[in-house]
Amino acid sequence: MPELPEVEVLTRHLDPALRGKTIRDVRVHRAKSTRPTSARAMRAKLVGAKFISVTRRAKYLLFQLKTPRRDPFTLLGHLGMTGRMYVQPANAPLPKHAAVTFGLGRRTFVFEDTRYFGRLTLDLSPLETLGPEPLGDDFDGSILHAALRRSTQAIKPKLLDQKTLAGVGNIYASEALWRSGISPRRAARRLTHAQCAALAASIREVLAEAIACGSTVPLDFAGTARRDRLFYYGSTTGTQGFEERLRVYNRADEPCDHCTTSIRKITQASRSTYFCPQCQRG
């Protein structure tokens, strides 16, 4: 499942590939993939529009577009569980699970999604309820403290709540808590200002390191059918990714890098949490 770093790396890849390109043709192969926008509304709004830029908010891709003599507008993308977005030559065959495609002249933009949980839509309402952006310029311990202070929920599942903090997934929540020495079971509202400052810094660190890693490895955005380690697009060279640097995630019963205590795996809100019972007692 793509997490924030994958979406950021994809955004940086798509921005130069799409910028300045005009959509000549819109094909909605799966009606579900543009919901609640209809295929007809997609065509009416998008045909003739030109890409201005591609940016990211949480795990959403924001495609800014402009049609001559009209105001710029945004197309919202989300990869869901299995989505891929890439540009291929116009004469290349479409993948079996093509959900939405845009003809761009000699190139075709492809949104492929084998399980159809992703979206490419003109409905921007999912953005309205998102919490602070962890890589935003102003994100710090005091913003995190304000977001957590009323919650009796344990900190680990609370970090996955998109209204609390936007875009921090399961892997990065466990990793950031280990780095800041905070127990995943501690009630969110009991985190001190100092702990929130450490946690905010750790969240930024783990996300930035994963993005740096994904930006240096040659990724195959059209992907393959196999499970591709952490960066699920898969690398074109078989290079090992950020997963090698994970300190607790998926490492149950292995020794902690700090203290050699065995890493524990527990389940919180139906998701796996990994932590060091010695280092994360706070």
d(CA 139, CA 131): 11
271 in catalytic set: yes
Among 92, 212, 259, 269, binds Zn ion (CB under 5 A): 259
175 a catalytic residue: no
Which residues are CB-neighbours of 45 under 8 A, at least 6 positions away?
Answer: 67, 73, 122
Question: Minimal distance in Å, beta carbon 181 to Zn ion?
Answer: 9
Q: Report 198-257 residues binding Zn ion (CB under 5 A).
A: 256
Q: Indicate whether 279 belongs to the interface with Zn ion (CB under 5 A).
A: yes
Residue 32 bears catalytic tag? no
Given 45, 56, 59, 179, the catalytic residue: 59
How many chain residues interact with Zn ion (CB under 5 A)?
7
Is 133 in the active site? Answer: no
- Binding of Zn ion by 177 (CB under 5 A): no
Least distance CB 198 / Zn ion (angstroms)? 16
As a whole number of angstroms, the distance between CA 250 and CA 235 comes to: 20
Please report, to the nearest 10 degrees, the dihedral formed by the alpha carbons of residues 271, 79, 58, 67 taken in order: -160
Q: What does the alpha-carbon distance between residue 99 and residue 120 come to, in Å, rounded to a whole number?
A: 9
Say whether residue 276 binds Zn ion (CB under 5 A): yes
Task: State the nearest-atom distance from the C-beta of 261 to Zn ion, in Å.
Answer: 5
Q: Does 146 bind Zn ion (CB under 5 A)?
A: no
Strand partners, 168: none
CA dist., res. 45 & res. 67, Å (int):
9
User: Which of 24, 204, 265, 271 is the catalytic position?
Assistant: 271
Query: Which candidate in 2, 5, 132, 184 is catalytic?
Result: 2
DSSP 16-44: HHHTTPBP-EEEES-GGGGTTS-HHHHHH
Q: Which residues bind Zn ion (CB under 5 A)?
A: 256, 258-259, 261, 276, 278-279
Give the active site residues.
Answer: 2-3, 59, 271
